[in-house]
Amino acid sequence: MTLDRFYPIFDSADWLRRMLPLGVKLVQLRIKDAAPETIRAEIALSRDLCRQHGAVLVVNDHWQAALDLGCDWIHLGQEDLDVADLPAIRKAGLRLGVSTHDDDELERVLAMAPDYVALGPVYPTILKKMKWHQQGLPGVTEWKARVGDTPLVGIGGMSVERAPGVFDAGADIVSVVTDITLNADPEARVRAWLAVTR
């Protein structure tokens, strides 16, 4: 299965309701602080919206809820990997994407044979305080050489203007958060992203 090259991340099903009709085909639902029942309801709604629009939904972190609700993809950060039941995830047939930021993390993740590897931050990001320095485009090229055929996602400080360079450096997919969610016209920004990634 080939994943779309444009991979926005949103924190609610409301965002998916707005953006999926524009042609988004790969999307991550990342909800950080909410009650378990709220999280499950958001995942279920997002799952249904993605099915209606023929899009791939990736659920961040909440792997048990994703598994229970019949989702196909999850994304785990390094901390999530410490507590997730990877054999159960694999047995259920869930596809797995994983975040990496340094050599040790990449080595650990490659041993798990993930379905994609995310590298970040490629550029400085305002989304979260990170202990890692930006990887830069040379980091993208080096990671791609190491992950081989596994799809590589570039994330961190992404913009429509930077996307072509990130693809040229070796990324298969570009993931974006605030360039859309903080934009004065998110729909127009998504259209611009679709134009530059298709």
Give the residue carrying structure tokens 């997919």. Answer: 173
- Residue 60 to residue 8: CA distance in whole angstroms: 12
Q: Is the dihedral of CA 51, 32, 193, 133 positive or negative?
A: negative
Q: What is the DSSP string of 122-168?
A: SS--SSS--SSPP-HHHHHHHHHHHHTTS-EEEESS--TTTHHHHHH
Active-site entry in 17, 18, 25, 30: 30
Q: ∠93-99-103 over CA atoms, to 5°?
A: 120
CA distance 61 to 177: 16
Which one is catalytic: 51, 91, 108, 128? 128
Residue that has been written with the tokens 């360039």 in this structure: 179
Q: Which two tokens stand for residue 32?
A: 């950080």
- C-alpha 31/C-alpha 60 separation (Å) is 7
Contact between 48 and 42 (Cβ < 8 Å): no
23 is written with which tokens? 């042609």
Note if 99 is an active site residue. Answer: yes
**Active-site hit among 5, 46, 47, 99:** 99
128 belongs to the catalytic site = yes
Based on the residue annotation, tell me whether 131 is a catalytic residue of this protein.
no
DSSP-assigned beta bridge partners for residue 118: 99, 153
Give catalytic residues, as residue numbers. 30, 99, 128
